[in-house]
């Protein structure tokens, strides 16, 4: 099949990472895959075997998702948005996909509703009409008003053949963060968690403290606390993976003690975790799966700026497991982080989790069954 996945990450990079993981699974099954990305390019992400198309990029202004910025940091005006939409429609209509998957929309990315709705209308008019699906993570941003629920339900009813929920309903059902109407429930397909294949063990699990904060620019509080904690723990090696440009990394390197390494995010991040003494990170979807699959002792600092609750809900679910502790952003400093790292390093190390992690493969099976009219999609 010709599969097209459309994604725009605005703050972190988790949406793009998941879209590429799905794309690689479709490609492995013999499908031709195009991923159209509308966020900031992430060069170290693996797009091998896929066609990765970059729209004029957008990013949010911190947690303000209403006033979007261009890749250069200026305000994205009407002409900029119109250019993106034109490129998107041209790519979609020329490719004539058999399957169209929109990442997060219509349950989020409402600030981009005009381009997504134009895409849906254009693809719905194609003959043959593609299978149209939405792809969402385990926890959504809970709707702040009923109109957001109605908006999503109406678009799903009008355009979508199904909603792929990348979770296990026995672990985190969609109802935990989003009201599910009877009409929507009939279109839900739970895939399990979407994670890359497990990494091989990298050395003994007594290595560095690995500090990461996603691919965006929201991790400064985590990095500052890590520098302070490292200053108090000269007996431990620390490795801090900082996104952005070289100037940003140089600024953090100037603040870091001598036994802390500061470098760019790495494509072998998950392999590093298998040999780490502990991980310090936020609690986005992909990071949470990295922690579960590697079994690394973990300190989670859920991102909660601007009233965000997604990561807090996820962290609360994970902290019941051995070797995971949560430090809220409001209580984060060098002292609290040092205590949390000491606790997880001294605690029981979990076994890596392997069950329920084949969501990408299950997604492919579901989509193939839906496309062929099979009865085994569920």
Per the DSSP assignment, residues forming a β-bridge with 100 are 4, 132
Task: Please state, rounded to an integer, the average pLDDT across all residues of the chain.
Answer: 92
The whole-number pLDDT of residue 181 equals: 94
Contact 2, 99 (CB under 8 A): yes
The whole-number pLDDT of residue 376 equals: 66
Contact 115, 88 (CB under 8 A): yes
- Say which range, 36-40, 153-157, 349-353, has the weakest mean pLDDT: 349-353
Q: Which domains does the chain have, with CATH numbers?
A: 2-195+357-372 (3.40.50.2000), 209-346 (3.40.50.2000)
Q: How far is CA 209 from CA 51, 233, 238, 255, in A?
A: 35, 11, 5, 17
Quote the CA–CA distance of 220 and 205 in Å, as a whole number: 27
Quote the CA–CA distance of 174 and 162 in Å, as a whole number: 14
pLDDT at 264 over 60: yes
Quote the CA–CA distance of 239 and 277 in Å, as a whole number: 11
The whole-number pLDDT of residue 21 equals: 94
Percentages of the chain per state (helix, strand, coil), in multiples of 5: 40, 20, 40
Query: Three-class SS of residue 58?
Result: strand
pLDDT band, very low/low/confident/very high, at 216 (cuts 50, 70, 90): low
Quote the CA–CA distance of 272 and 280 in Å, as a whole number: 13
pLDDT at 217 over 80: no
pLDDT at 215 over 60: no
Read off the pLDDT of residues 2-32 as tens digits, 9 standing for 90 and up.
Answer: 999 999 999 888 899 999 999 999 999 999 9
pLDDT band, very low/low/confident/very high, at 378 (cuts 50, 70, 90): low
Read off the pLDDT of residues 220-243 as tens digits, 9 standing for 90 and up.
Answer: 999 999 999 999 898 999 999 998
pLDDT band, very low/low/confident/very high, at 375 (cuts 50, 70, 90): low
Q: By percentage, how much of the chain surpasses pLDDT 70?
A: 96
pLDDT band, very low/low/confident/very high, at 347 (cuts 50, 70, 90): very high
The whole-number pLDDT of residue 245 equals: 87
Read off the pLDDT of residues 59-84 as tens digits, 9 standing for 90 and up.
Answer: 998 888 888 999 999 999 999 999 99
Quote the CA–CA distance of 120 and 133 in Å, as a whole number: 10
Q: Are strands 131-136 and 99-103 parallel, antiparallel or unpaired?
A: parallel
Q: What are phi and psi of 134, to 5 degrees?
A: -105, 145
Quote the CA–CA distance of 372 and 377 in Å, as a whole number: 10
pLDDT band, very low/low/confident/very high, at 212 (cuts 50, 70, 90): very high
Burial (0-12, 13-18, 19+ Cβ within 10 Å), 144: exposed
The whole-number pLDDT of residue 65 equals: 86
The whole-number pLDDT of residue 16 equals: 95
Contact 208, 372 (CB under 8 A): no
Contact 376, 188 (CB under 8 A): no
pLDDT band, very low/low/confident/very high, at 267 (cuts 50, 70, 90): confident
pLDDT at 121 over 80: yes
Per the DSSP assignment, residues forming a β-bridge with 64 are 61
pLDDT at 353 over 60: yes
Quote the CA–CA distance of 197 and 360 in Å, as a whole number: 10
Q: How far is CA 199 from CA 133, 192, 271, 273, in A?
A: 30, 19, 5, 9
pLDDT at 98 over 80: yes
């Amino acid at each position: 099949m010709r599969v097209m996945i459309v994604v725009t990450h605005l703050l972190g990079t988790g949406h793009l990472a998941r879209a590429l993981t799905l794309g690689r699974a479709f490609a492995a099954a013999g499908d031709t895959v195009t991923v159209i990305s509308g966020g900031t390019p992430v060069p170290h992400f693996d797009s091998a075997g896929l066609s990765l198309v970059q729209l004029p990029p957008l990013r949010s202004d911190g947690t303000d998702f209403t006033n979007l910025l261009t890749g250069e940091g200026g305000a994205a005006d009407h002409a900029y948005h119109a250019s993106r939409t034109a490129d998107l429609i041209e790519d979609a209509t020329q490719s004539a996909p058999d399957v169209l998957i929109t990442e997060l929309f219509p349950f989020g990315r409402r600030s981009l509703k005009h381009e997504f709705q134009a895409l849906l209308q254009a693809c719905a008019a194609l003959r043959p009409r593609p299978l149209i699906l939405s792809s969402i993570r385990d926890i959504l941003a809970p709707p702040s008003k009923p109109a957001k629920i109605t908006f999503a339900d109406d678009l799903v009813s009008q355009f979508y053949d199904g909603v792929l929920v990348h979770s296990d309903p026995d672990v985190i059902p969609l109802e935990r963060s989003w009201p599910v109407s009877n009409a929507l429930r009939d279109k839900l397909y739970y895939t399990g968690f979407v994670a890359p294949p497990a990494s091989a063990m990298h050395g003994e699990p007594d290595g560095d403290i690995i500090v990461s904060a996603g691919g965006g620019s929201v991790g400064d509080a985590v990095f500052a606390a890590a520098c302070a904690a490292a200053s108090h723990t000269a007996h431990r090696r620390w490795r801090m993976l900082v996104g952005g440009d070289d100037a940003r990394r140089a600024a953090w390197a100037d603040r870091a003690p001598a036994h802390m390494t500061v470098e760019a995010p790495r494509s072998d991040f998950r392999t590093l975790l298998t040999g780490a003494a502990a991980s310090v990170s936020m609690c986005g979807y992909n990071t949470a799966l990295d922690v579960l699959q590697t079994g690394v002792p973990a300190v989670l600092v859920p991102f909660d700026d601007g009233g965000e609750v997604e990561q807090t809900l996820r962290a609360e679910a994970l902290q019941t497991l051995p070797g995971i502790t949560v430090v809220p952003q409001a209580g984060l400093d060098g002292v609290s982080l040092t205590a949390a790292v000491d606790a997880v390093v001294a605690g029981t190390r979990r076994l890596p989790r392997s069950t329920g992690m084949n969501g990408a493969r299950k997604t492919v099976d579901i989509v193939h069954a839906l496309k062929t009219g099979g009865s085994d999609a569920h």
